[in-house]
Structure formats: C-alpha cells, structure tokens
A and B are shown apart, each in its own frame.
Chain A
Amino acid sequence: MEQSDAAAVAQARDGNPDAFRVLVERHSHSVFRLAFRMTGNQHDAEDLVQETFLRAYRQLGKFDGRASFGTWLYRVAANCSLDLIRLRKRRQEQQAPVDEEGQEIAAVAAAEDPTPDRLAFSGELNRLLGPALERLSPMERTAFVMRHYEGMCIEDIGRALGVHAGAAKHSVFRAVQKLRQALEPAVSSAKS
C-alpha cells in the first residue's frame, strides 16, 4: 500500500532518509513545473527542485501539517525561486543597468516587431513572454506565477511569501500591467 505524505514526513522527521526519498519521487515533477515557470530555464528549474527539497528537509520540523505537504512544499519552492530570481536579477543589473519601468518592456516588444503575416502566434508569444517575464521584479514574477499558473489566491500568496496580502496584490497588478504592455501588440495582431 502506498505510504501517505503525512506518514513519510513523520518518518523523515525521525531521521529516516528513505521516507524523504518517497516525497522526492512523488513531488519533484510538480515542483519542476513551478520552478520552470519561475525561471524559464530547464537547468535552473532542476537546480531549484534540488534546492527546494534540501531546504524542505532542513525545515521539516516547521511543517505543522495544517496544509498538505504538497502545498507547503510549493511555498518552499516559491521562496527558493524568489531567492534565485533576485540573485540573477542583481547579477544582470550589475552587468547592464536597466530602466525598471515598463518602457523597456515596450521597447523589447516593439523591437521584435511581429508582423501578422509571419506571426506563428503561440511560438511568437512564447518568444516574447520569456523576456517579458524576465523584466518583472522577482516579487512580481513569483506572485504572478503563483496567481496565474498555480491558481493560488492573493491571501495565500502573501502568506507563502511572508508579505501582507496588499503587497502580494500589488505585485500581481504590476506584473499584469507590465505583461500586458509587452504582449498586447502581439495578441492584438494575431486577432486582427
């Protein structure tokens, strides 16, 4: 019979690493999906899966069982992703300082100049989406992915990231605003 997450967590807490392995096998694919959406990069996503499970193991004592292990693990993964995106962003800024505001996103989108006749829409959108997501602040990107792709409510996002719901809400708004600015021309072209 398949061992429940709760039972595996209890055994892992008692120092049984094999029990934790069950959790790794069960949840690594869903963590990977979240990590990929956060980073847009398969290699980084895999590193994040590893970091998430390591951090989760070290913090297992703090898991109180109020949420499911999967939900708690998502929070750990989101925070790992947030740290990684911040780190990456700082490095990028050191290399090439950029204007924080949306003008740059618009400029990137405009520079790509997708004409309707050569627009293979979904591929084009994917191509624009990567740079557009890159230009969100770490908090904006994390909050947006959690809201849009993971379907988490604003309250839960705030709780997971350790900020007030108002701050989480603001991050989602800003993200939508910037993404809209970057992607709307392509979406409108495809429709027309």
Chain B
Amino acid sequence: MKHLSEEDLVLRYYGEPPSGGGDEEHLESCETCRANLVAMSRVLDAMNGLEVPEPLDGLSERVWQRIAPELAESPTRWTDWFAPRRLAAVGAMAALVIAAFLAGRVSQRQAQVAGLSGPVRERIMLVAVGEHLEQSQMILIELMNSNAKGTVDISEEQQRAQDLIGENRIYRQAALRTGDKSVSNVLDELERVLLDVAHSPSKLNSAEFEQIRQRIEADGILFKIRVVGSNLREREAAPVKGRAL
C-alpha cells in the first residue's frame, strides 16, 4: 500500500489543494498515515503558541522619526524611469561613472581632475547598480507572475529589458575593472536573461512563455540579484573605507 507522503500531509494540514487524488479514502483506511498526520499536527499546533512580544511603546513614532528625513524625494513611479529626462540622467550618470572609473585607473590625480574622490565614486556606483538590479528584478518578477494561459504579450517587459541591457553592460564592465567578481558575475548572468527576454517574440504561447520562465528559474537569477542587492545596500550603509565596487 502506498502511504501518503509527508508533503501530502503538510498540504492537508494547511488546507491546500492536494497534489493527487484519493487522499481522503486512504486516510480513512490507513492507521499509519492517520498517526503520522496527528503527530505532525501536534507539533505544528504547538507552534501556534509562539509568543510575539509587544513592541516597545512609541514604535510608529520612532520608525517615522528615523525614516522621515529620507522621504524628501517623491516615491518613484514606474513610468518615471522611462521619461526622457530620467533616461538622460541615467545616461549622464553612467558616463560620469565610466569617466570616473577610467580616471581612477590612470591615476589618483586624474581622478581628482574628474572631480570625484574614490569613496564618492564608489557610492555613486553602489546606488546606481542597486537601482539597476531593483528595476531588473521587477521585470523578472512580473514575468514569473504573469498569467501563462493563452497568448502572453510581453512587449512591455521586453521594452524595459531592452532599456536595461545597455546600463547592465556598463555596470558589468565597471565591476570587472574594479575586480568585483560577485557583482560582475551576477550582471553577466542578468545580461543573458535580459537578452533572452528582449529577443523573444513579443507574443508567446503558453509553452514558449513557460520556457522563458524556466530559464529565469533555472538560473536562480532572482535569488542572486536579491543577495547581491542586499550586499550593495549593506555596503552603501557602511562607513566609507578604501575598497573596490
């Protein structure tokens, strides 16, 4: 007799749809599976008692006091990213970063001529790459979450992926120059995924769309982007020291 797997029991405990049929009949007739379900339920039920302490008084006020100074800028709208002014700013920033990096490679004096110290250059890069990763992540998440039934129109995501490819290349080259392997590797993988998305047909049937999703999932790129993004934020927040990108 084939018993219910632990996975089936977990699904059952949480009231999720079962992966196969016939669970109900089997449970009624199988002592072993019933005992297993009871044992598992007992552990999970016991966990409901995990106490969550009340936060210290004035949580909202403290949080507000800490974040308010950083809310000076209006929140970003998606469309803002593709406004001509914004694109021009991104281009200018990228040019500035490249110039600063090249200057930095040649000599410290030339870097001073470029008007940016090493730490400032690094901060600019951290912020720029962090934002770039966040934009890329949003596209990939949207693709992963799209409804794959029938024909899927990914023309909007393609356009955004196309826009990000150029930036990605610039940041990857900068990371390579500074020897930051973890960043350059992720940007390299991201570039391949963005190219895949940008060069696919804009209207996909569900099988073709599933292939794209599988490519994204197989590369684990979302996970890697999150990890590197988190590293960059940490470095951005850390006191400035002499280090590569």
Residues of chain A at the chain B interface (Cβ within 8 Å): 12-15, 17, 20-21, 24-25, 28-29, 32-33, 36-37, 42, 45-46, 49-50, 53-54, 57-62, 79, 82-84, 86-87, 122, 125-126, 129, 147-149, 153-154, 159, 162-164, 167, 169, 172-173, 176-177, 179-180, 183-184, 187-188, 190-191
> Which of chain B's residues 72-96 have a Cβ closer than 8 Å to chain A?
74-80
Contact A87 B63, beta carbon cutoff 8 Å: no
A167 touches B217 (CB 8 A): yes
B22 to chain A minimum Cβ distance, whole angstroms, is: 19
For B68, give its contact among A17, A49, A83 (CB under 8 Å). Answer: A17
Are A62 and B78 within 8 A (Cβ)?
yes
Task: Name the distance in Å between A51's Cβ and chain B's nearest Cβ.
Answer: 9
The A-contacting residues of B in range 210-235, CB under 8 angstroms, are 213, 217, 222, 226-227, 229-231, 233-234
B179 to chain A, nearest CB (A): 20
CB distance from B189 to the nearest CB of A (A): 16
Contact in complex: A87, B43 (CB < 8 Å): no
Chain A proximity of B217: nearest CB distance (Å): 6
Please measure, in the bound complex, the distance between the C-alpha atom of A172 and the C-alpha atom of B40, giving whole angstroms: 13
Total interface residues on B, using CB and 8 Å? 53
Residue in B closest to A181 when the chains form the complex, CB atoms? B43
> Is the Cβ of A45 less than 8 Å from the Cβ of B10?
no
State how many angstroms separate the Cβ of A91 from the closest Cβ of chain B: 10
Q: Are B50 and A126 in contact (CB under 8 A)?
A: yes
A60 to B138, CA, bound (A): 13
A61–B76 alpha-carbon span in the complex (Å): 5
Which residues of B line the A interface, CB within 8 A?
6-7, 10-11, 14, 16, 39-40, 42-44, 46-47, 49-53, 55-56, 59-60, 62-64, 66-68, 70-71, 74-80, 137-138, 140-141, 144-145, 213, 217, 222, 226-227, 229-231, 233-234
How many A-B pairs have beta carbons closer than 8 Å: the answer is 141
Known: A50-B67, A162-B141. A173 touches B10 (CB 8 A): yes
State whether A125 touches B55 (Cβ < 8 A): no
CB closest chain-A residue, reference B80: A61
**Distance A159 CA – B145 CA, assembled complex (angstroms):** 6
B55 adjacent to A45 (CB under 8 Å): yes
Name the A residues within 8 Å of B10 (CB-CB): 172-173, 176
**A106 and B7 alpha carbons, distance in the complex (Å):** 20
Contact assessment for A29 and B59 in the assembled complex, using a CB-CB cutoff below 8 Å: yes
Interface residue from A28, A36, A86, A126 paired with B226 (Cβ < 8 Å): A86
A-B pairs with beta carbons under 8 Å apart, 5 shown: A25-B60, A42-B55, A162-B144, A163-B144, A169-B7
- In the complex formed, the residue of B with least CB distance to A37 is B52
Q: Which of B43, B76, B78 has the most CB of A within 10 A?
A: B43
A14-B42 in contact (CB<8A) = no
Residues of B within 8 A of A33 (CB): 52
What are the residues of chain A within 8 A of B229 when measuring CB–CB? 83
Sample of 18 more A-B contacts, CB < 8 Å, known A28-B63, A53-B67: A13-B74, A13-B75, A29-B55, A37-B50, A46-B62, A53-B63, A57-B71, A62-B78, A126-B50, A129-B47, A148-B14, A162-B145, A169-B11, A173-B10, A179-B43, A179-B47, A183-B46, A187-B43
Distance of A82 Cα from B225 Cα, bound (Å): 13
B48: min CB distance to chain A, Å: 8
Task: Please judge, given known A-B contacts A46-B59, A54-B70, A86-B227, whether A36 and B53 are in contact too, CB under 8 Å.
Answer: yes
Q: Which residues of B contact A183 (CB under 8 A)?
A: 43, 46-47
B67 touches A187 (CB 8 A): no
A148 → B minimal CB distance (Å): 7
A163 contact set on B, CB distance < 8 A: 144, 217, 222
Q: Indicate if the CB atoms of B14 and A147 lie closer than 8 Å.
A: yes
A-chain residues with CB within 8 Å of residue B44 when the two chains form the complex: 148, 176, 179
Q: Tell me whether A28 and B59 are in contact (CB under 8 A).
A: yes
